[in-house]
Amino acid sequence: MIAENIKTGPRARLLEAASLAARIKDEVKAEVERMVAERGYRPCLAAVRVGDDPASAVYVRNKIRACEEVGIRSEHHALPESTGTSELLELISSLNTREDVDGILAQLPMPSGVDETVIIEAIDPSKDVDGFHPVSAGKLAMGRPVFVPCTPAGIIELLDDNGIELRGTNACVVGRSQIVGRPMAQLLLQRDATVTICHSRTRDLPAVTRNADLLVVAIGRTGFIRRDHIKSGATVIDVGMNKVSDPDEVRSLFGPDAEKRLEVVAKRGYTLVGDVNPAEAAEVAGMLTPVPGGVGLLTVAMLMKNTLKAANLRRR
């Protein structure tokens, strides 16, 4: 894999997550080793993937690799594109009843022949390490979370690790998905931030986002958040992960760093960029997460933490 060493403008400080993700995984590894030594049990994560989506295959492979790094046993159930909801429900039911499986991960998105909502709701809440089940969402909304979706949980860890005060902060979350936007807003609210949620129907989006001391962006639109969306000195968390291959678009997005990114495009065929325009954000923001090297690393680390937590809760 080609490393993308990202350095943005002279003003924004990069909130790189590699060292924090490594520390979280080291902590999980130590706890797993203790569990094996004291209880003779090793936690297990079962990953379920349906179809041949290349991105999903990469994501599952990264999660299984992380399991190996921390000593968690993993299973990969790769099912054909033709798999239907009923067939998948049988597998989920089987994994629910197995005492040696602590966490179940249903990789999204799934093919059109599978009802994702039905599958998510079929997972035993005690094994819902993704934190997507309605029981998990409800407990989070009540301020009594058990499993928090991994990306929002990782963002909170990153903010805490960098000493970013949340109490009283004006925070804006752009995106209202059940995976990132809504749980992110709940977590910030529970930390006494004043939270605004924006979405595709928000009127005059820049006028709203420019009031935010903390801006979290998760909308899946390449480089959508630009200079005029960002308050001077704000902390910007970019959750997006998009591929860009057009040279002119690369130059527009990366400014002085474009040549390095064009080298990556020449070798790999694309480079990665988030939902925030990195060159413009670096001129305005106080702190900014890079893509890659930011939030994505923490998502996998928090999945390991949730799997260990599930094993402990099921055996306390």
pLDDT for 106-139, tens place per residue? Answer: 999 999 989 999 999 999 999 999 999 999 999 9
Query: What is the four-CA torsion angle of 178, 180, 183, 185, rounded to 10 degrees?
Result: -120
Instruction: Decide which of 3.30.70.870, 1.10.10.60, 3.40.462.10, 3.40.50.720 is the CATH code for 149-296.
Output: 3.40.50.720
Band of pLDDT at residue 192, cut at 50, 70 and 90: very high
The mean pLDDT of 126-153, rounded to a whole number, is: 97
Sequence spans of domains, the chain: 39-127, 149-296
Band of pLDDT at residue 9, cut at 50, 70 and 90: very low
Examine the pLDDT at 291 and tell me if it is beyond 60.
yes
130 has catalytic annotation? yes
* 203-210 contact pairs (CB < 8 A, 24+): 205/174, 205/229, 208/172, 209/172, 209/174
Residue 206's pLDDT is what? 98
Residue 103's pLDDT is what? 98
Residue 46's pLDDT is what? 98
CA pair distance 129, 306, nearest whole angstrom: 5
Residue 10's pLDDT is what? 52
Considering the candidates 102, 124, 128, 130, report the single residue annotated as catalytic: 130
The mean pLDDT of 59-82, rounded to a whole number, is: 96
Band of pLDDT at residue 33, cut at 50, 70 and 90: very high
Residue 3's pLDDT is what? 45
CA distances from 122 to 46, 82, 125, 209, 220 (A): 14, 20, 9, 37, 27
Write out the two tokens for 107.
Answer: 């990789």
CATH 3.30.450.20 fits domain 39-127:
no
Write out the two tokens for 295.
Answer: 């939030």
Amino acid in the structure at residue 154: G
CB 218 within 8 A of CB 176: no
Band of pLDDT at residue 213, cut at 50, 70 and 90: very high
Band of pLDDT at residue 53, cut at 50, 70 and 90: confident
Total Cβ atoms within 10 A of residue 66: 21
Write out the two tokens for 174.
Answer: 């752009």
Considering the candidates 107, 124, 127, 128, report the single residue annotated as catalytic: 107
Q: Per residue in 155-189, pLDDT tens? A: 999 999 999 999 999 999 999 999 999 999 999 99
The mean pLDDT of 137-162, rounded to a whole number, is: 97
Percent of the chain past pLDDT 90, that is, above it, reads 92
Confirm whether 39-127 and 149-296 share one CATH topology: yes
Q: Per residue in 93-110, pLDDT tens? A: 999 999 999 999 999 999
Examine the pLDDT at 210 and tell me if it is beyond 60.
yes
63 has catalytic annotation? yes
Total residue count of the chain as it appears in this document: 316
Examine the pLDDT at 6 and tell me if it is beyond 70.
no
107 has catalytic annotation? yes
